[in-house]
A and B are shown apart, each in its own frame.
Chain A
Amino acid sequence: MALLELHDLNKHFGGLHVTNSVNLALEAGEIHCLIGPNGAGKSTLFRLILGEHHPGSGNIFFAGENITALKSFARIHRGLSVKFQVPGVFKGLSARQNLEIALQSRHRGAELAQEIDRLLAFLGLEAEQVQTAGNLSHGQKQWLEIGMAISLKPRLLLLDEPTAGMSPEETHMTGEMVQRLNAEGMTVLAIEHDMAFVRQVARRVTVLHLGQVFAQGSIQQIVADERVAAIYLGQAHA
């Protein structure tokens, strides 16, 4: 069964048709990558799924339920979670407190402290836990926000450029983490420009171009597609 279904989604910003009749079905348990040139409307599609923007027309189904009219926080309660493109950490608070705020609704007291320690170790941020999140490196902020996003134990994890600013090794580690989470049952939809990451994790790839679904298939099919090479991969990333 499809976990997430987008039916004919449309979104305009003024005269700009940013999301143009997008249809997309995400199978439960898959890792799906969304690629496409800058300004293709990838992040906008995330914001539509999350309820930060509302579509001009079309519907969004999550686990069979029409969530198009739900508020953002209610969608999170249904099992969605996100890491934004620009790291959205709580800059003035310590790394530890960032995680506490993410974890406190499902754990309390000593159990909460344990859970935070476990997550800090998992993210490799133990030494940075008392540091103000705003002072962390870009990569560390990315990790911290990924940590907050996965701590909700979502059914569907949305990652907007999770490896931006990471070294090739860190990118590979992020890929392994995504695969581990997926093995535990988490469905993942990731926007990514780094093709090494896409090759490593993606079961299926969707190419977005000028707000439209331009191509879809396995990574081999997409890489071999000359039309895709012409609009995107040919430029710098192949």
Chain B
Amino acid sequence: MNGLVSLFRSLEGSQTVGRGPGFWALFAIVLAIACAYPLFSDGYTVGNTVYFFVWVFIALSLCLIWGYGGSLSFGQTAFFGIAGYGYGVLTINFGSAYGFTFVALFLAIGMAAMFALLLGYFMFFGRIAGVFLGIVTLAVTLMLERFMAQTAGPEWRIGSARLNGFNGMSAMPPLTIPWPGGPIVLIADIGLYYFVLGLLVLVYLGLRILMNSSFGNVIVAIRENPERAEMLGYDIRKYQLITFVIGAALAGLSGVLYTVWGQYITPSSMGMTAASLPLIWVAVGGRSDLTSTVIGTLVVLAAFQALTIYGSQYALVFMGVLLVLTVLIAPNGLVLGVMNWLSRLISRYRGAK
């Protein structure tokens, strides 16, 4: 019981909106609905929902690095792509037997994290910050896109995996759980849905604990005033690097899940549009809060898809308008604004009673 109380305590704090029994009751209801939802829907629609969930991880990675850490990174799609291609190369070469697809998932995320460690080391210890960090990460992302786009020739292969240039890589095996009665293959419907939903809950709660810990305090302190943070004795470059690597791993998780969902990955998933869309979801939701980021991302994605039916150019214009509106009306994010307004309302109501 005490353990449970202290667990809840570590999930709450000044770095995240939402606390107390009311919030967690709501959380439990939403989770229960999410768990029950496949029972009332068809496989195709459920698979489509998984697609939305896949993007939440990259949004959370940006929330961590940009919203909490204060470093605007365009590199998340690069980590996304590296992990996506990594998973493809590994599983096309080594197959899906003995649960290897899950090993590949971890290895692919590890590749993205290693790449971030290297890139981040040069940036943070080379004291690249602010706008320049954005420029360097964008350059790396676009370079990777260009590089992958010119790998059409047959000489571009790793083992038996052809990189295929602009058309991208496809037909990698989906996540496969070895099972006595025959392997369980998580194709893009109910099985994958529960797997991704589980990951989402774990990552969300894990990040809440991280951000409300003393580590999270240092991260926001660096965002607010790096000089002061260092003069309190914190090795700020180390903290920035760790945050950057965690963020890269989350973006990598998105990349792998995207790849297993559609069984393809193309260079355009690292292009300019792909790099800027997550920024919009996170900015519109509320980059400095985890819950706002999750809600914002899902809402904007759903709206985007609904509009795409009328033509994707309208959807992109809509995103631009949304971003401008956010910057003008609620610079900290529309969802976060609404949530803060609600919590003020609730506390006033409590005060009046």
Bound pair (A, B): yes
Interface residues of A (CB under 8 A from B): 50, 52, 71-73, 76-77, 81-82, 84, 88-94, 97, 100-102, 104-105, 145, 148, 152
Q: Which of B224-232, B290-298, B343-351 contacts A (4 or more CB under 8 A)?
A: B224-232
Q: Is B214 an interface residue (CB 8 A)?
A: yes
C-alpha gap A72/B235 in the complex (Å): 8
A93 and B14: CB pair below 8 A?
yes
Min C-beta distance of B319 to chain A, whole Å = 27
Q: Which residues from A are CB-within-8-Å of B220? A: 90, 92-93
Q: Which residues from A are CB-within-8-Å of B236? A: 73
B224 and A92: CB pair below 8 A?
yes
Q: Which residues from B are CB-within-8-Å of A100? A: 217
5 contacts between A and B (CB under 8 A): A50-B231, A73-B235, A88-B225, A90-B224, A92-B224
Q: Is B270 an interface residue (CB 8 A)?
A: no
Interface residues of B (CB under 8 A from A): 14, 214, 217-218, 220-221, 223-225, 227-236
Q: Which residues from A are CB-within-8-Å of B228? A: 84, 88-90, 145, 148
Q: Which residues from B are CB-within-8-Å of A94? A: 14
Min C-beta distance of A131 to chain B, whole Å = 13
B231 and A82: CB pair below 8 A?
yes
B225 and A76: CB pair below 8 A?
no
C-alpha gap A94/B234 in the complex (Å): 19
Q: Which of A72, A93, A105 interacts with B231 by CB under 8 Å?
A: A72
Min C-beta distance of B9 to chain A, whole Å = 10
Other contacts beyond A76-B232, A88-B228: 16, CB < 8 A: A50-B231, A73-B230, A73-B236, A76-B230, A77-B233, A81-B231, A84-B227, A88-B225, A88-B227, A90-B220, A100-B217, A101-B217, A104-B214, A104-B217, A105-B234, A148-B228
A91 and B225: CB pair below 8 A?
yes
Min C-beta distance of A74 to chain B, whole Å = 8
Q: Which residues from B are CB-within-8-Å of A102? A: 232
C-alpha gap A200/B229 in the complex (Å): 31
Q: Which residues from B are CB-within-8-Å of A81? A: 231
C-alpha gap A104/B232 in the complex (Å): 10
Min C-beta distance of B215 to chain A, whole Å = 10
With contact pairs A73-B236, A104-B217 given, residues A90 and B231 touching in the complex (Cβ less than 8 Å): no
Q: Which of B214, B221, B224, B234 interacts with A73 by CB under 8 Å?
A: B234
Chain B: interface secondary structure? helix
- Chain A minimum-CB-distance residue to B217: A101
Q: Which residues from B are CB-within-8-Å of A84? A: 227-228, 231
A152 and B218: CB pair below 8 A?
no
B231 and A101: CB pair below 8 A?
no
With contact pairs A73-B233, A73-B234, A82-B231 given, residues A90 and B14 touching in the complex (Cβ less than 8 Å): no
With contact pairs A88-B225, A91-B225 given, residues A101 and B235 touching in the complex (Cβ less than 8 Å): no
Q: Which residues from A are CB-within-8-Å of B232? A: 76, 101-102, 105, 148, 152
C-alpha gap A102/B228 in the complex (Å): 10
Q: Which residues from A are CB-within-8-Å of B234? A: 73, 105
- Chain A minimum-CB-distance residue to B222: A90
Q: Which of A50, A82, A91 interacts with B224 by CB under 8 Å?
A: A91
C-alpha gap A148/B217 in the complex (Å): 14
Q: Which of A88, A89, A92, A152 interacts with B233 by CB under 8 Å?
A: A152
- Chain A minimum-CB-distance residue to B234: A73
B14 and A52: CB pair below 8 A?
no
With contact pairs A90-B224, A91-B224 given, residues A97 and B235 touching in the complex (Cβ less than 8 Å): no
- Chain A minimum-CB-distance residue to B332: A92
Q: Which residues from B are CB-within-8-Å of A104? A: 214, 217
Q: Which residues from A are CB-within-8-Å of B221? A: 90, 93, 101
Q: Which residues from A are CB-within-8-Å of B214? A: 104-105
- Chain A minimum-CB-distance residue to B213: A104
C-alpha gap A99/B225 in the complex (Å): 14
Min C-beta distance of B342 to chain A, whole Å = 19
C-alpha gap A81/B236 in the complex (Å): 16
C-alpha gap A73/B228 in the complex (Å): 10
A105 and B233: CB pair below 8 A?
yes
Q: Which residues from A are CB-within-8-Å of B217? A: 97, 100-101, 104
C-alpha gap A82/B232 in the complex (Å): 9
Q: Which residues from B are CB-within-8-Å of A148? A: 228, 232
C-alpha gap A89/B236 in the complex (Å): 16
C-alpha gap A202/B298 in the complex (Å): 61
Q: Which residues from A are CB-within-8-Å of B229? A: 90, 101
C-alpha gap A145/B225 in the complex (Å): 12
- Chain B minimum-CB-distance residue to A77: B233
Q: Which residues from B are CB-within-8-Å of A105? A: 214, 232-234
Q: 6 nearest interchain CB pairs?
A: A90-B224, A76-B233, A88-B228, A104-B214, A101-B221, A73-B235
